[in-house]
Chains A and B, each alone.
Chain A
Amino acid sequence: MALIELEHIVKTYDLGLSKVPALRDIHLQIDRGEFVAIVGQSGSGKSTLMNIIGCLDVPTAGRYRLSGRDVSELSDDELADVRNLEIGFVFQSFQLMPRASALENVELPLIYRGVSKKERRARAQGALDLVGLADRMTHKPAELSGGQRQRVAIARALVTQPSLLLADEPTGNLDSKTGEEIVGLFHDLHGRKNTIVLVTHEPKLAARCPRAVRLVDGLVIADGPGVKVAMGNAEALGAEAVAQLLAAQAATVQR
């Protein structure tokens, strides 16, 4: 069953004088249990797509169904609940609360779900244990290494048992060795039946994912096995998508 269904998703940023299209016409379907990389150069619209998938933003047009529910026209509060219940975020810059301990950081999303203090603690401990930080629970983010911070962030994303783990350049701020460990952790989580969407600009990361989607100028131009998409293999590029892209570019030039 499809977890994410994106149909004709358009996102246009209104900058007053001009309208900038970030996403032109995105069709995408991601099933439960998949591990999908979204790759693209900066400006390709992959961050916008991630924000929409993560319900941090709503599309200008088109329909987005998450777990079968149309979320493209939900209110702000409803989106907040969806984020809390369905999505676990992992950011490039970790985005941990600087004044809170690792444990308190992981407990935070459970507060917004009305989980009792005792249960919050137990679940947060379980999540930290899962990412291998059982001995760092009382440390503040400043007392942890970059890799450890990202593990805390992953634990925080997992603790709510989300339908979807959404990671935005999770290795961007880490050295290659630590980055490798984090990627390994994601693959491990995928093995435990988590659905993961990984946004990255690194072909090497995408190549290791079972499936990758390449974005160029707000359009999906390739969708297929990670290795092929990452290599830019022509077979992976859908002919229809390329035609669409060319037409869109032509239209922009004419305008």
Chain B
Amino acid sequence: MTESALSIPLAMKPRDLGFFRKVLRFFAELREAIVQAAISIASHKLRAALTITGISIGIMTVITIFMVESGMQASFARQLNSLGPNTLYVHKWKWGVGGNDWWKYKNRPVVTQLDWRALQKNATWPVAIAPSTNTTAVVGIPGQGDKDLKSVNVVGTTEAFLDAGSWQLKRGRFISDLDHELGTDACVIGADLEDAFFKNGDPLGQALKVGPMARCTVVGTLMRKGNAFGQSQDLRLVMPLSSFLRSFGSKRGLVIAVVAPAGKVMETEDEIISVLRNSRRLGPEQEDTFSVNRQDKILQGFNQMMMATNVVGILVGIITAIVAGIGIMNILLVSVKERTREIGIRRALGARRMTILMQFLCEAIMVAAVGGALGIALGAGGAALIDILSPMPAAIDPRVVVGGVVGSAVLGAIFGLWPALTAAFLHPIEALRYE
């Protein structure tokens, strides 16, 4: 027998451990707790797997809801940006509002060219004023019916439209004021139309038929914009307003886009209202018979709608958390029961209550975090699937990922606390005697 290693005195006085030793001890205990938790989970694979599955399904559901939501929000914000922050839209309808006032807006007179002219003549703030209207029509090459494109968004507008929207010209020229005045057959086409009809050739100067009646000649093409809400923004044809009204009916209401100078949006809005009330001869007691819409107003309406979805998401989240938490509590209570003697041994060897508490909390947190991470992976997969398969956009928000893992770990700690406390407060003697 040798006792070389044993005979070296342990590097401390028995009375008290110094601060440094306590820090060392904490990390040694933490490491031991993590190892023990991993062993405990590994030696009860089925039990742990069932709990983890429960948690991950719950987390997946919540994550999917929030991912779809944030995807929609991002996509909506992108679309709103294309409207321009300084642009006001005069329309019969108030945007972003549904519900009870429908008849009120329905019965209003449409916005017409008279309103446009009144604004052009009397409003001083606007940088640009662009009336527009649109419809959906079949567009094709004359004499090649098999190449027709359905559901093309056909827009009638004027030169100022380029300043109001976010369209960018790729080649050729845009509709000019002269086109409008004369009612020419000039048209500008979106990227989808260009690809479909003139893949290998120059589109400029080519003829297209729009709807059953109209013919037009391509004078320019637009830059590609991509999808929004699962719909292409490039399946589009722009023609002079006067030609549009001639072909598709002159009673159509317009939307007048008014670009305000930066920082003067409120002033511009007030001016538009007074000019239009004047031109429409509204008395002081009468309500406006038109609406001046702004990007952020729509966002407000959209956010109200999103709040409802959020409430549902949060409710589902809370229920999920409780169900998953009970699962964690259950697995941990069983674990404490099984290891009662082990707790007694550890206590006899000098483990403090905190040490035992930490050990079982580690197990709870580990189960919960693994479940959470798995749930996030599944949720991200689900969101990607929704993005591909449906027009609803879904985006993976890193905050959701971090929040999901942290949240489920916290959940594990909360629901693991009570079983861990019962373990920590076992009397060492009772625990040692437990069979």
Contact = CB atoms under 8 A, between A and B. Distances in A.
A113 B25 contact: yes
B337 to A, nearest CB: 15
Contacts of B346: 108, 112
Interface string A102-139: 00000011011111110000110111011010000000
A28 interface: no
B28 A80 contact: no
A160 B21 CA distance: 15
Nearest to A47: B429
A117 to B, nearest CB: 8
B14 A116 contact: no
Given A95-B345, A111-B32, A161-B10, A57 B24 contact: no
Interface in B1-57: 1-6, 9-10, 12, 14-17, 21-26, 28-29, 32, 39, 43
Contact of A114 (B15, B22, B39, B342): B22
Nearest to A81: B350
Interface in A58-114: 67, 69, 76-77, 80-81, 83-86, 89, 91, 95-97, 99, 108-109, 111-114
Nearest to B342: A97
Contact of B349 (A112, A115, A192): A112
Given A54-B348, A89-B348, A126-B5, A115 B353 contact: no
B43 A99 contact: yes
A129 B2 contact: yes
Contacts of B23: 114
A85 B351 CA distance: 11
Contact of B25 (A89, A114, A192): A114
A113 B32 contact: no
Given A56-B429, A76-B353, A85-B350, A126 B345 contact: no
A160 to B, nearest CB: 7
B75 to A, nearest CB: 53
Contacts of A39: none
Interface string B396-435: 0000000000000000000000000000000011001000
Nearest to B424: A76
B289 interface: no
A80 B349 CA distance: 8
Given A77-B353, A111-B29, A113-B17, A126 B22 contact: no
B32 to A, nearest CB: 5
Contacts of B15: 69, 85
Contacts of A163: 14
A122 B10 CA distance: 12
Nearest to A48: B429
Contacts, number: 114
A95 B5 contact: no
Interface string B329-355: 000000000000110111111111111
A130 B6 contact: yes
Contacts of A125: 5
Contacts of B355: 112
Contacts of B348: 54, 56, 83, 89, 95
B1 A113 contact: no
Contacts of A192: 3
B424 to A, nearest CB: 10
B10 A113 contact: yes
Nearest to B10: A161
A156 interface: yes
Contacts of B342: 97
A51 interface: yes
A129 B351 CA distance: 25
A76 B353 CA distance: 8
Interface in A152-198: 156, 158-161, 163, 192
Nearest to B5: A126
Given A86-B14, A113-B17, A126-B5, A99 B24 contact: no
B10 A160 contact: yes
Contacts of A158: 6
A84 B354 CA distance: 15
A123 B342 CA distance: 22
B5 A123 contact: yes
Nearest to B347: A80
Contacts of B17: 81, 113-114
Contact of A159 (B2, B6, B341, B432): B6
Given A83-B348, A113-B25, A156-B349, A67 B14 contact: yes
Contacts of B347: 56, 80, 83
Contacts of A97: 342, 345
Nearest to A160: B10
Given A91-B432, A97-B345, A114-B21, A80 B351 contact: yes
A85 B352 contact: no
Contacts of A112: 25, 29, 346, 349-352, 355
A115 B29 CA distance: 10
8 contacts: A80-B347, A84-B349, A95-B341, A95-B348, A95-B432, A112-B351, A130-B1, A163-B14
Interface of B: 1-6, 9-10, 12, 14-17, 21-26, 28-29, 32, 39, 43, 341-342, 344-355, 428-429, 432
Pairs A-B, 3 closest by C-beta atoms: A84-B350, A126-B5, A114-B25
Interface of A: 51, 54, 56-57, 67, 69, 76-77, 80-81, 83-86, 89, 91, 95-97, 99, 108-109, 111-117, 122-123, 125-127, 129-130, 132, 156, 158-161, 163, 192
